Amino acid sequence: MCGRFAITLPTDAMAQLFDAAPANALPEVPNYNVCPTTQIHVITGREGERRRLGAMRWGFLPSWYKSPTDGPLLINARAETIAEKPAFRAACRERRCLIPCSGFYEWTKDESGARLPWYIQRADGAPLVFAAIWQDWGQGEDRAPTCAMVTTGANDAMGRIHHRMPVILEEADWGLWLGEEGKGAARLMRAAGEEVLRFHRVDPKVNSNRASGAGLIAPIPA
């Protein structure tokens, strides 16, 4: 799964990378501690000539939720069951999106049970791009988009830290996932190759969702 991540790419660089028109109100960058229920950067399919770079709540809200706390917090959707779950199946068919980030955090535990955070990023230094789905929630002026990342079983390297990982998309697959290139997006919901990612230990201060700053992703001895 993925429960926290960092985004350091400037907004104009994101817009250029995805050939997307940016919305007026977007989350501030850099942010080294992006947490669930906050607004995050999301790319949706082409509207005319360009895709759209907008903001969505990280935490998918099904249409039947009467409030954001009316059920479980749905920040991830499992690739294995996404097409069957009532909360996700329509979005999986009709409302797929991309979530960019610079890296994400996962945790292991030491012998005493203390949580040890790791920072995971692309080995080539490029931004990570996660497969995701979205859903408008609410009524009238209060209607707002919400989203969840798609996850799958971890590859062997990532499995040493966590048994799940986000579905990571290569640039050649962005259009297919967004529905711009017909059907077949289901085949993209698989683990990335072991060579795609690298990871290092970081300071436990990131265990707090109030922590901030570039020091959160700085390596420390494992």
Tens of pLDDT, residue by residue over 111-135, are: 899 999 999 999 999 999 999 999 9
Mean pLDDT of 72-101: 97
Residue 49 has pLDDT above 90, yes or no: no
Q: Which two tokens stand for residue 118?
A: 């790791």
Confidence tier at 222 by pLDDT (50, 70, 90): confident
Residue 140 has pLDDT above 90, yes or no: no
Residue 1 has pLDDT above 80, yes or no: no
Residue 102 has pLDDT above 80, yes or no: yes
Catalytic residue among 2, 92, 101, 147: 2
Which residue from 126, 132, 172, 137 is spatially nearest to 44, judged by alpha carbons? 132
Report if residue 44 sits inside a domain. yes
pTM of the model: 0.96
Confidence tier at 213 by pLDDT (50, 70, 90): very high
Confidence tier at 142 by pLDDT (50, 70, 90): confident
Report if residue 203 sits inside a domain. yes
Q: What is residue 83's predicted lDDT score, i.e. its pLDDT?
A: 96
Say if residues 125 and 198 touch (Cβ distance below 8 Å).
Answer: no
Percent of the chain, pLDDT > 70?
Answer: 100
> Alpha-carbon distance 55 to 135, whole Å?
12
Q: How many residues does the chain have?
A: 222
Report if residue 125 sits inside a domain. yes
Catalytic residue among 92, 97, 101, 106: 106
Report if residue 222 sits inside a domain. no
Report if residue 52 sits inside a domain. yes
Mean pLDDT of 79-88: 97
Tally of structural domains, the chain: 1
Q: What is residue 52's predicted lDDT score, i.e. its pLDDT?
A: 97
Q: What is residue 139's predicted lDDT score, i.e. its pLDDT?
A: 83
Q: What is residue 141's predicted lDDT score, i.e. its pLDDT?
A: 80
Supply φ then ψ for residue 143, to 5 degrees: -70, 130
Which residue from 163, 133, 154, 151 is spatially nearest to 197, judged by alpha carbons? 154
Q: Could you tell me the CATH number of the domain that includes residue 204?
A: 3.90.1680.10
> Alpha-carbon distance 21 to 49, whole Å?
9
Mean pLDDT of 61-85: 96
Average pLDDT, the chain: 96
Report if residue 87 sits inside a domain. yes
> Alpha-carbon distance 53 to 124, whole Å?
24
Confidence tier at 211 by pLDDT (50, 70, 90): very high
What residues make up the domain containing 159? 5-208+213-217
Percent of the chain, pLDDT > 90?
Answer: 93
Is residue 2 annotated as part of the catalytic site, yes or no? Answer: yes
